[in-house]
Chain A
Amino acid sequence: MPDYYGKSHIYRSIGRLLQKKVALVCICLIVLIYTFGVLAPFVSSYEYNEQDYTSIREAPSLRHIAGTDLKGRDVFTRVLWGIQNTVIITFITMATGGLLVGVSLGLLAGYFGGRIDAFIMRIGEVFASFPDILLVILLAATLRTRIIKSIYWIEDHTFIEGIVKSGAADYLVISLALISFSWIGMARLVRGQVLFLKENQYIDSAKATGASTLRILFVHLLPNALGPILVTVSMGMGSLIGTEIILSWLGLGIQPPRPSLGNMLLEAGSISALRVVPWMLIAPGIVAWALVLSWNLLGDSLNDIFNPKTK
């Protein structure tokens, strides 16, 4: 055991995390997949929409390591670009919905209590009583045309061009739909933590020394709730990735010809495709599985570290 004496709680936790082999493997896997996704244009020598009619539905070979699809496009390249889309969308959603909205609403509700607490939690309850995936689909389906229309308007009336073409509009639509439910869990968790923490004496002494509310919230309360927040973020990334894949599977996510993992799973998962080209399922399937799994496993390890009681 390394000596952590005198080091901060977070420092010790990171030390313990790095000693867990499962967690290390997961972190490496996540970093690897994300790097490949972000560097997609440099990793692969093909374009994602480059069609080669001389090699259609080719089984995996050295030239196309995951084979080619019905239009002669390299599956491996498309998977890389699909990862990129998933990564961007889930990061935006987690950073805004989970962290920004969720954490701050949870802090407010927990610290001030009373009416503010009741108001925030009741709104959360309304969103939580929706059949969750239905809410996301409903929002994604209705928001898309509205947002795309208004972006076209912006393109027409300013010098900015190519927003819709670049796929940024798709990112916006999906992130907005995902944010709608992704803040609730985080807000509830942070609220519970704050309710528990604010009864501690060190908060009283902070108040007595004249610390401002903001200082108490962000310097004294938030860091102490960091452990459970990290667990929620990690688990939440897993389910966000799953939901994003469902959306693009339904055709509500990234629009073709831009590749998405969900769309590739849809193409490869039909009976007719399974009969002829079953290996088309392998690359997007394994990547989707590995992404969800490594975030979940990492969350599990983090949970062991931060809540040793439940181990």
Chain B
Amino acid sequence: MLKFIVRRLLWLPILLFMVSAFTFFIGTYGPGDPVQVMLGARYDPDTADRLRMSLGLDRPVIIQYVDYMTSAMQGDFGESLRYRGRGVMSLLAPKMLVSLQVNLVAMSVSIIIGLPLGFWLAHKQGTWIDPFVVSLTLMIMSIPIMLSIPLALWGLCLKADLVPCSGWGGVFDSRILIPAITMGLPGVAGLARLMRSSTLEVLGQDFVRTAYAKGLTRIQVDYRHVLRNSIIPIITVLSLSLAGMLTTGFITERLLGIPGVGDFAIQSIFNRDYPVIMAFTIVLATVFVFANLLADIAYMLIDPRIRVT
């Protein structure tokens, strides 16, 4: 197991190098000119040249990249081109915190409702409830978020007047309601489906029959034998969605006026603010790779039979 972890950790820098290089070159070869964006209406060729020189943008791309990565590895991700004088990380960190909160709320909703629902559904196989609810979960998962948020806004904000239409006030504010519903419900559906199929697989195993045969009650079998095994595949999905959720929320963030990192990253792409895009991509890719690794390790700890090669 140690060998496996070490090998994965050695692969990590190579992966991050490729991701960062790819993003950097796309960023520099992209359309428009960051200098033009920065100067806006005050643009004139002389100023632009001077600014470009002072930012080091007139040097060859390779040198710019090496330079960037050297300081990035020391924890300095540079300055935003759009918001002058602001370090990229000081811009990103508070927004990441907001996105994390929104997503954790949505994820809690999905776990609290989704897991028991899926477990229950697995026991209802063969009745009319099962196919009905399974189709229903797919319906919920397929609603585009650009449709569900306006619908929720129309119902909860315009018609029922329950919550303000936009803004952010933390986890305990009433405005969390709409993102919790629109992001949480697809999660509920997804987790319920996953939990159902994983539980069904366990229910078909011999050891479950043995457990019943030795006279355990259904509750005992469920909690001692079935639940523990059926929850294993859920771990990977949860850890990966934790990593991916910083970007998935950008539509929610924009429509509801939440100052999150997803919307900010998209804005930065349009603003040609590539120090921000670079830092964001590198951070996310790192989180993603580590989440992957942790999921694999958790797998091995829970079920010693699993040997990842």
Is B truly associated with A? yes
Q: How far is the CA of A300 from the CA of B142 in the complex (A)?
A: 12
| B219 interface residue (CB < 8 Å to A) | no
Q: Which segment, of A44-52, A60-68, A139-147, faces chain B?
A: A139-147
Q: Would you call A289 and B154 a contact (CB within 8 A)?
A: no
Q: How far is the CA of A260 from the CA of B30 in the complex (A)?
A: 25
Q: Would you call A293 and B153 a contact (CB within 8 A)?
A: no
Chain B residues, Cβ within 8 Å of A22:
135
| A83 interface residue (CB < 8 Å to B) | no
Q: Would you call A292 and B281 a contact (CB within 8 A)?
A: no
Cross-interface CB contact of A125 among B15, B23, B138, B197, cutoff 8 Å: B15
Q: How far is the CA of A311 from the CA of B126 in the complex (A)?
A: 11
Q: Would you call B31 and A141 a contact (CB within 8 A)?
A: yes
Q: Would you call A129 and B141 a contact (CB within 8 A)?
A: no
**Interface digits, B159-180 against A, CB 8 Å rule (1 contact, 0 not)?**
0000001100000000000000
Chain A residues, Cβ within 8 Å of B255:
269
Number of interface residues of B (CB under 8 A): 51
**Interface digits, A56-92 against B, CB 8 Å rule (1 contact, 0 not)?**
0000000000000000000000000000000000000
Q: Would you call B197 and A310 a contact (CB within 8 A)?
A: yes
**Interface digits, A222-245 against B, CB 8 Å rule (1 contact, 0 not)?**
000000000000000010001001
In the complex, what residue of chain B is closest to A271 when comparing beta carbons? B165
In the complex, what residue of chain B is closest to A284 when comparing beta carbons? B147
Q: Which segment, of B41-49, B241-249, B296-304, faces chain A?
A: B241-249
Chain A residues, Cβ within 8 Å of B142:
238, 289, 292-293, 296
| B151 interface residue (CB < 8 Å to A) | yes
| A268 interface residue (CB < 8 Å to B) | yes
**Interface digits, A282-311 against B, CB 8 Å rule (1 contact, 0 not)?**
000100110011001100100000000011
Q: Would you call A141 and B288 a contact (CB within 8 A)?
A: no
Chain B residues, Cβ within 8 Å of A208:
none
**Interface digits, B197-221 against A, CB 8 Å rule (1 contact, 0 not)?**
1001100000000000000000000
Q: Would you call B26 and A142 a contact (CB within 8 A)?
A: yes
Q: How far is the CA of A311 from the CA of B197 in the complex (A)?
A: 7
Query: Main SS of chain B's interface residues?
Result: helix
Chain A residues, Cβ within 8 Å of B138:
293, 296-297, 300
Cross-interface CB contact of A265 among B23, B146, B265, cutoff 8 Å: B146
How many whole Å from A195's CB to the nearest CB in chain B? Answer: 13
Q: Would you call B289 and A133 a contact (CB within 8 A)?
A: no
Q: How far is the CA of A141 from the CA of B268 in the complex (A)?
A: 11
**Interface digits, A22-44 against B, CB 8 Å rule (1 contact, 0 not)?**
10000000000000000000000
Q: Would you call A245 and B144 a contact (CB within 8 A)?
A: yes
Categorize the interface residue count of chain A.
35 or more
How many whole Å from A7's CB to the nearest CB in chain B? Answer: 27
Q: How far is the CA of A296 from the CA of B151 in the complex (A)?
A: 22
In the complex, what residue of chain A is closest to B288 when comparing beta carbons? A129
How many whole Å from A124's CB to the nearest CB in chain B? Answer: 11
Q: Would you call A126 and B247 a contact (CB within 8 A)?
A: no
| B73 interface residue (CB < 8 Å to A) | no
| B284 interface residue (CB < 8 Å to A) | yes
Given the contacts A129-B288, A289-B142, A269 and B22 also touching, CB distance less than 8 Å: no
Chain B residues, Cβ within 8 Å of A145:
30-32
| B251 interface residue (CB < 8 Å to A) | yes
Cross-interface CB contact of B26 among A138, A238, A275, A281, cutoff 8 Å: A138
Q: How far is the CA of A76 from the CA of B162 in the complex (A)?
A: 32
| B158 interface residue (CB < 8 Å to A) | yes
How many whole Å from B73's CB to the nearest CB in chain A? Answer: 18
In the complex, what residue of chain A is closest to B283 when comparing beta carbons? A131
How many whole Å from B181's CB to the nearest CB in chain A? Answer: 16
| B83 interface residue (CB < 8 Å to A) | no
How many whole Å from B173's CB to the nearest CB in chain A? Answer: 18
Q: Would you call B144 and A292 a contact (CB within 8 A)?
A: yes
Chain A residues, Cβ within 8 Å of B134:
300
Q: Would you call B284 and A134 a contact (CB within 8 A)?
A: yes
In the complex, what residue of chain B is closest to A140 when comparing beta carbons? B269
Q: Would you call A142 and B150 a contact (CB within 8 A)?
A: no
Q: Would you call B146 and A275 a contact (CB within 8 A)?
A: no
Cross-interface CB contact of B30 among A141, A268, A293, A311, cutoff 8 Å: A141
Chain A residues, Cβ within 8 Å of B22:
126, 130
How many whole Å from B99's CB to the nearest CB in chain A? Answer: 12
**Interface digits, A85-128 against B, CB 8 Å rule (1 contact, 0 not)?**
00000000000000000000000000000000000000001100
Q: Would you call A249 and B146 a contact (CB within 8 A)?
A: yes
Q: Would you call A142 and B147 a contact (CB within 8 A)?
A: no
Q: Would you call A266 and B30 a contact (CB within 8 A)?
A: no
Given the contacts A288-B147, A310-B201, A131 and B141 also touching, CB distance less than 8 Å: no
Q: Would you call B146 and A141 a contact (CB within 8 A)?
A: no
How many whole Å from B171's CB to the nearest CB in chain A? Answer: 23
In the complex, what residue of chain B is closest to A299 when comparing beta carbons? B138
Given the contacts A131-B288, A288-B147, A275 and B158 also touching, CB distance less than 8 Å: yes
In the complex, what residue of chain B is closest to A141 when comparing beta carbons? B269
What are 7 A-B contacts defined by CB distance under 8 Å?
A: A142-B29, A245-B144, A246-B251, A269-B146, A271-B157, A289-B147, A310-B197
For the complex with contacts A138-B23, A146-B31, 17 further pairs of A-B residues with Cβ separation under 8 Å are: A125-B15, A129-B288, A131-B244, A131-B288, A133-B250, A134-B269, A139-B26, A142-B27, A145-B30, A249-B146, A262-B146, A288-B144, A289-B147, A293-B142, A296-B141, A300-B138, A310-B197
Q: Which chain A residues have a beta carbon within 8 Å of chain B's beta carbons?
A: 22, 125-126, 129-134, 137-139, 141-142, 144-146, 238, 242, 245-246, 249-250, 262, 265-266, 268-269, 271, 274-275, 278, 281, 285, 288-289, 292-293, 296-297, 300, 310-311
